[in-house]
Amino acid sequence: MQITINVNGEDYTREIEPRHLLVRFLRDDLGLTGTHWGCDTSNCGACTVLLDGKPVKSCTVLAAMAAGHEVRTVESLEVDGNLDPVQQGFIEKHGLQCGFCTPGMLMTARALLNENPNPTEAEIREAISGQLCRCTGYLNIVRAIQWAAEHSTAKTVGS
C-alpha cells in the first residue's frame, strides 16, 4: 500500500506492507535512527515519537495508521544548531548515561512541556512513567525536565 506521512515537517510517500511498524518506517525507510527500538514489547519507551503532538510508542503503531498525520522524531528538536531546552536540560543536569532511552525521554518531555509548561515533579514523574531507564534513578532526568521548563520560551515542537 502507498502512504504519505508528514515527518518532521516534510511529507514522505512510500510503498509499504500493511503490517509495517512506524518505528521501522522511521528507521529503515527514512534513515531517522534517533528513534530507538529497545524491547520488542512496547514496555521501554525508547521508540517514543510525537504523533499529532502526542507521545506514542512507535513500535505499537502501524505506519499506515500514521498516514495523513504529523510525526515528530528526536531529530526535530534541534533547529538550526540550537538545542531544544529539553536537550540542553539533559546536558546541564546530566539526565542521561548510556543514552538509549534518551530519545524517548526527550520526546515525552517535549510533549509534557508543550501541554504543561510548568509541571510539578509529580507531573513529570507521571509523564515519564512509561519510559524505562536502566542506568539512572530518574532523579537527574526529572531535574533535566525541570531545567527545561525553567528555560523554555514558547517551544512547541509537534504541537
**Residues 7-48: tens digit of each pLDDT:** 999 999 999 999 999 999 999 999 999 999 888 788 899 999
Query: In this model, does residue 155 exceed pLDDT 80?
Result: no
The sign of the CA dihedral 65, 78, 74, 159 is negative
SS3 annotation, the chain: CEEEEEECCEEEEEECCCCCEHHHHHHHHCCCCCCCCCCCCCCCCCCEEEECCEEEECCCCEHHHHCCCEEECHHHCCECCECCHHHHHHHHCCCCCCCCCHHHHHHHHHHHHHHCCCCCHHHHHHHHHHCCCCCCCCHHHHHHHHHHHHHCCCCCCCC
Q: How confident is the model at residue 157 (pLDDT cuts 50, 70, 90)?
A: low
Q: What angle do CA 11, 54, 59 make, to 5 degrees?
A: 75
- Nearest Cα to Cα of residue 121 among 96, 106, 143: 143
pLDDT of residue 154: 52
Task: Report the C-alpha gap between 118 and 29 in whole angstroms.
Answer: 37
**Residues 113-127: tens digit of each pLDDT:** 999 999 999 999 999
**Residues 64-82: tens digit of each pLDDT:** 999 999 999 999 999 999 9
Q: 505499537: which residue's cell? A: 60
Give the count of beta carbons closer than 10 Å to the beta carbon of residue 79. Answer: 10
Helices 139-151, 85-92: crossing angle, 10 deg rounding: 130
pLDDT of residue 136: 84
What the chain holds in terms of domains, given with CATH numbers, is: 2-75 (3.10.20.30), 85-151 (1.10.150.120)
- Average pLDDT for residues 104-121, to the nearest whole number? 98
